[in-house]
Amino acid sequence: MRINIASVMVDDEEKALRFYTDVLGFQEKTNVPAGEHRWITVVSPADPDGVELLLEPAGHPAAKPFREALVADGIPYTSFAVDDVQAEYERLRGLGVTFTQEPTEMGPVTTAVLDDTCGNLIQIAKLAA
């Protein structure tokens, strides 16, 4: 068994697609009609056949209070691995990304938390070698 698709709920599919590709640097893998929405996935350019991230429309009534509670408590919806948290933080800040947590060492891991502009906080992290 392996992880094939993970999802992040977004309030605007097109805005999310632009942010996750143009800003974060993922590649669009799938973008097909799925009822009133689309099935949009992105992947890491370093692993185009790896785990896909589904940009899931957040239309379910439970989604809004769940996501608002996570943001209010400063809890990231998910986490992405990076090679250098400080360098990625600086690159993304240069692109106008807002961070709710600057790079912080926490034992064997360094993390930072950003606002994905689509209703979520996202953590970037690097585990010390």
Annotated domain spans of the chain: 5-127
The rounded distance, in Å, linking the Cα atoms of 23 and 13 is 15
pLDDT tens digits for range 11-68: 999 999 999 999 999 999 999 999 999 999 999 999 999 999 999 999 999 999 999 9
Q: What are the strands, taking DSSP E only, across the chain?
A: 5-10, 27-34, 37-43, 52-57, 78-81, 99-106, 109-115, 121-127
Q: Which one-letter amino acid corresponds to residue 14?
A: E
- Over 90: is that where the pLDDT of 125 sits? yes
Burial label, 35 (beta-carbon count in 10 A; 0-12, 13-18, 19+):
exposed
User: Dihedrals φ, ψ of 87, to 5°?
Assistant: -65, -40
Instruction: Give pTM, 2 decimals.
Output: 0.94
* pLDDT computed for residue 96 by the predictor: 98
**Class in CATH terms, 5-127:** alpha beta
